[in-house]
């Protein structure tokens, strides 16, 4: 009798502390829980969360060049098609970096050899951009493992959540940037704040790096804020190339949400990045626009008009005419590594659309490594899938980046960065 009560209490406690879909979906290909679909549909009726209402669509062909020629080798991809697609993304989505000349310098502001109880060295570096006598500082915070005997690979976070997540003194610790855990795994861990490069508000492109480099009237393909942040990530990589503790050929750029969109574009634009991690990057990031599931182009360009180039607004409610879709963004990163993630409750960022984007980019990864393949079905909850240089997981829970996500990034890093 007493043991019956005990079991009942135990079951109740388990159900209380673990989301039901963790159990009901164990081992099965992930699908959105009906309860979440209904709840979100009720709260945000103008957006689609029903899989059965996703329109049929045809993705632009990755391997046919604009002149109709079929791309059959990595060489042809690099010489012809990759360049075409990169230009299409500059023109239609993120915008072009202006050609204004600038210079940069690095200043080590602080170095503590005994950080993290002796496990790491902390370096704080100001990257100063100079153009026509105006300057802008990007503050880079970096921990390097003290036990390393050679230059180490690094994870660089584009921080869009504010300094409370990235305390250099480590009095406040956050799973969003779990620096201790990354150091323990033998990587360097770095972060810069996106706001240093361009504050995240719509001020008609007067502040941040726009204020320094933009000249004349804005054009429909002038760079937006995401492209500016991506450019900032590349400046951190410039610094890594000068730091003998870092293996600059093995740097992963990591971002969450708007930072995830940025990480993908940073790696597409700058082929020095060895890996991109796009955590729950959603619309304008990994998820396929043509599915019109969750956040849409019309919505994102209305709520965040400064993120993209003006041309991008043309594709709101007109996705099928857009000359690119996001599988092509993943392909721009090939053959380097890409890790895409989703969270089970974060349907706004369209988990399935994010997986399908990666899945549909595989023909390009295969030009380099024939046997790269992912299952057609999404993997089960909390079960990363990886093949060659691509990886994906859908974690249980809400929109966030947690230690659990980072541990999987590092597992993948162990195979592609070490």
Binding site for ligand GTR (CB under 6 A): 160, 257-258, 282-283, 295, 300
Of 175, 147, 182, nearest to 161 by C-alpha is 175
Supply the minimum distance, in Å, between the C-beta of residue 348 and ligand GTR.
Answer: 7
Output 283 or 417, the one with its CB closest to ligand GTR: 283
Alpha-helical segments (H) within 140-291: 179-184, 194-197, 208-213, 225-240, 258-269
Residue among 131, 257, 354, 357 flagged as catalytic: 257
Residue nearest to ligand GTR (CB): 257
Nearer to ligand GTR among residue 281 and residue 372 (C-beta): 281
In whole angstroms, the minimum distance from the beta carbon of 200 to ligand GTR comes to 9
Collapsing DSSP to helix, strand or coil, 81 comes out as: helix
Specify whether 193 is catalytic. Answer: no
Closer to ligand GTR by Cβ: residue 257 or 372 = 257
The nearer residue to ligand GTR, 299 or 369, going by C-beta atoms, is 299
Q: How far is residue 89's CA from residue 111's CA, in Å, rounded to a whole number? A: 39
Which of 29, 33, 234, 399 is catalytic? The answer is 399
What sections of 46-156 are H helices per DSSP?
74-76, 82-89
Least separation, in Å, of the C-beta of 259 and ligand GTR? 7
* Pair type for strands 188-193 and 152-159: parallel
Q: Is 257 labeled as catalytic in the residue annotation?
A: yes
Closest CB to ligand GTR among residues 131, 400? 400
For 68, what's the count of Cα atoms within 13 Å in the CB-facing half-sphere? 0
Give the shortest CB-280-to-ligand GTR separation in angstroms: 8
- Nearest approach, Cβ of 356 to ligand GTR (angstroms)? 18
* Distance in angstroms (rounded) separating the CA atoms of residues 78 and 92: 20
Q: In 25-137, where does DSSP find H-type helix?
A: 34-43, 74-76, 82-89
Closest Cα partner for 290 from 259, 249, 321, 262? 321
Give the DSSP letter of residue 28: S
Calpha distance 134→151 (Å, rounded): 34
Active site residues: 257, 399
């Amino acid at each position: 009798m007493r043991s019956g009560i005990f079991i009942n209490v135990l079951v109740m406690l388990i159900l209380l502390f673990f989301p039901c879909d963790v159990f009901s979906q164990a081992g099965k290909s992930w699908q959105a829980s009906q309860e979440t679909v209904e709840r979100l549909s009720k709260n945000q009726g103008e957006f689609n969360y029903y899989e059965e209402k996703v329109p049929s669509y045809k993705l632009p062909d990755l391997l046919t060049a604009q002149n109709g020629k079929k791309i059959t080798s990595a060489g042809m991809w690099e010489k012809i098609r990759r360049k075409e697609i990169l230009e299409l993304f500059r023109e239609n989505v993120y915008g072009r970096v202006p050609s204004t000349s600038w210079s940069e310098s690095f200043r080590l502001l602080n170095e503590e050899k005994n950080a993290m109880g002796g496990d790491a060295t902390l370096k704080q570096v100001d990257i100063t951009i100079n153009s026509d006598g105006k300057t802008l500082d990007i503050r880079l915070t970096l921990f390097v493992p003290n036990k390393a005997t050679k230059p180490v690979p690094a994870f660089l976070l584009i921080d869009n959540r504010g300094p409370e997540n990235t305390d250099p003194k480590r009095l406040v610790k956050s799973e969003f940037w779990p620096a201790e855990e990354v150091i323990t795994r033998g990587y360097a861990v770095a972060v810069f704040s996106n706001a240093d490069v361009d504050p995240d508000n719509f001020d008609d492109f007067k502040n941040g790096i726009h204020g320094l480099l933009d000249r004349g009237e804005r054009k429909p393909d002038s760079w937006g804020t995401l492209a500016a942040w991506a450019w900032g990530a590349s400046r951190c990589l410039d610094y890594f190339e000068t730091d003998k503790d870092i293996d600059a050929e093995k740097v992963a750029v990591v971002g969450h949400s708007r930072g995830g969109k940025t990480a993908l574009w940073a790696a597409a634009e700058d082929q020095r990045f060895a890996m991109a991690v796009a955590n729950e990057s959603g619309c304008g990031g990994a998820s396929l626009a043509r599915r019109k599931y969750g956040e849409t182009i019309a919505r994102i360009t209305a709520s965040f008009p400064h993120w993209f180039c003006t041309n991008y607004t043309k594709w709101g409610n007109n996705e099928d005419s857009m000359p690119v879709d996001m599988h092509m963004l993943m392909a721009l990163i090939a053959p380097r590594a890409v890790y895409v993630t989703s969270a089970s409750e974060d349907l706004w960022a369209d988990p399935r659309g994010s997986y399908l984007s990666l899945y549909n980019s595989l023909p390009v990864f295969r030009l380099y490594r024939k046997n790269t393949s992912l299952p057609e079905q999404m993997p089960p909850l909390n079960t990363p899938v990886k093949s060659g240089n691509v990886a994906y997981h859908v974690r249980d829970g809400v929109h966030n980046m947690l230690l659990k996500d980072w541990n999987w990034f590092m597992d993948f890093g162990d195979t592609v960065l070490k």
